[in-house]
């Protein structure tokens, strides 16, 4: 197998890893492209395991990016959310269905709270099945330290209860209730589907108007949905979409996507989070048709 074919066999895996690490499709593409440039320039005759080499290089590039990203997010205007991606039309073999929960917005938001090495260790071991021995070499720390990183991350993620798949009928029931509440101003059906600590997050990035803080609790969320969103989204079209492995909506004005809305649920099927992406810089994956072999395929590798 030549160098290009070897890299292309790994591209989807690297893209999926980089996206989960960075929470940004654009940054993930950059990291994968930089990995390719390094792969193209290195003496490959000395590389025993290309997959391990490529994963190591890509991960280290992502960790470098995260250092600067954490600084820039301190100055971010309003609420920062990961960049949503389209998972429309994906048909998954059974062995990969378990990876769907590692794409959800709720999971990515929790990952953002972890330290960079902690995040990398968890993803590589728990999602991409890397051994502790290989992980230690990649992160340049001991196996014991790797185990501690993964254990701490696993504990924090477990407390957040974000790794499970919500049945499609539960999702559709909520989507219908949410749309009805925004369009009619009647919140009765929607109220019964919210958790007691439901939160609404909106990311405008300082580029377009969006609420500047996270709304917490049914009263705030219902008030904003039936009043604020009803007014703001009047006249926009609702387009059902698969966003990060869950059902959601694209709010469109003609051919222009003005918001991507996705949701998170607890194990009882109650809605815990509403994520509204308004920042146009983070809506690029919904801006044009997706063709076979493009960014839609890699996310659940």
Domain edges within the chain: 3-164, 168-286
Residue 235 pLDDT more than 80? yes
Euclidean distance between CA atoms 194 and 87, whole angstroms: 25
Give pLDDT, residue 88: 76
**Six-digit token string for 8:** 């292309």
Give residue-wise pLDDT tens across range 95-126: 444 556 788 999 999 999 999 999 999 999 99
Name which of 260, 258, 274, 279 is nearest 204 in CA terms.
279
Distance CA 106, CA 264 (A): 6
Q: How far is 236 from 38, CA to CA, in rounded Å?
A: 45
Query: Which three-class secondary structure state does DSSP give residue 237?
Result: strand
Instruction: Output the pLDDT for position 45.
Output: 87
Strand order of the β-sheet with 215-216 is 215-216, 194-203, 271-277, 256-265, 246-253, 237-243
The per-residue pLDDT for 69 is: 73
For residues 167 and 247, the answer to whether their CB atoms sit within 8 Å is: no
Average pLDDT on 145-161 reads 94
Is a pLDDT exceeding 80 seen at residue 233?
yes
Q: Is the pLDDT of residue 169 over 70?
A: yes
3-164: CATH topology? Butyryl-CoA Dehydrogenase, subunit A; domain 3 (1.20.140)
How many C-beta neighbours within 10 Å does residue 92 have?
Answer: 13
Distances (CA, A) of 195 to 108, 218, 221: 20, 8, 11
Kind of pairing between the strands at 271-277 and 194-203: parallel
Is the pLDDT confidence value at 91 over 60? Answer: no
| Residue recorded with tokens 């974000």 | 162
Instruction: Provide the percentage of residues in the chain whose pLDDT is more than 70.
Output: 90
Q: What is the CATH number of domain 168-286?
A: 3.10.450.50
pLDDT at 301: 54
Phi, psi (rounded to 5 degrees) for 87: -120, 30
- Pair 259, 119: CB distance under 8 Å: no
Find, among 298, 297, 267, 263, the residue nearest to 277 by Cα.
263
């Amino acid at each position: 197998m030549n160098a290009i074919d070897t890299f292309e066999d790994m591209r989807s895996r690297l893209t999926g890893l980089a996206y989960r690490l960075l929470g940004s499709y654009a940054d993930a593409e950059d990291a994968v492209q930089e990995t390719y440039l390094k792969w193209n320039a290195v003496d490959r005759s000395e590389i025993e395991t290309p997959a391990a080499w490529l994963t190591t290089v890509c991960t280290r590039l992502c960790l470098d990016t995260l250092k600067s990203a954490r600084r820039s997010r301190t100055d971010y205007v309003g609420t920062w959310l990961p960049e949503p991606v389209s998972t429309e039309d994906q048909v998954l073999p059974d062995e990969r269905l378990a990876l769907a929960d590692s794409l959800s917005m709720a999971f990515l938001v929790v990952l953002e709270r972890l330290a960079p090495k902690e995040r990398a260790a968890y993803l590589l071991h728990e999602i991409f099945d890397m051994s502790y021995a290989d992980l230690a070499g990649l992160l340049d720390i001991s196996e014991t330290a790797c185990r501690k990183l993964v254990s701490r991350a696993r504990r924090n993620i477990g407390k957040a209860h974000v790794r499970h798949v919500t049945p499609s009928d539960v999702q559709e029931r909520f989507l219908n209730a949410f749309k009805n509440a925004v369009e009619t101003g009647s919140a009765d059906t929607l109220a019964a589907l919210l958790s007691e600590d439901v939160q609404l997050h909106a990311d405008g990035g300082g580029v377009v108007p969006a609420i500047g803080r996270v709304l917490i609790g049914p009263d705030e969320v219902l008030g904003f949905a039936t009043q604020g969103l009803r007014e703001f989204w009047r006249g926009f079209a609702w387009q059902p979409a698969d966003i990060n492995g869950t059902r959601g909506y694209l709010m469109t004005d003609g051919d222009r996507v003005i918001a991507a809305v996705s949701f998170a649920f607890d194990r009882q099927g109650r809605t815990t989070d509403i994520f509204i992406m308004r920042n146009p810089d983070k809506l690029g994956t919904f801006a044009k048709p997706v063709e076979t072999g493009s960014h839609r395929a890699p996310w659940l590798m």
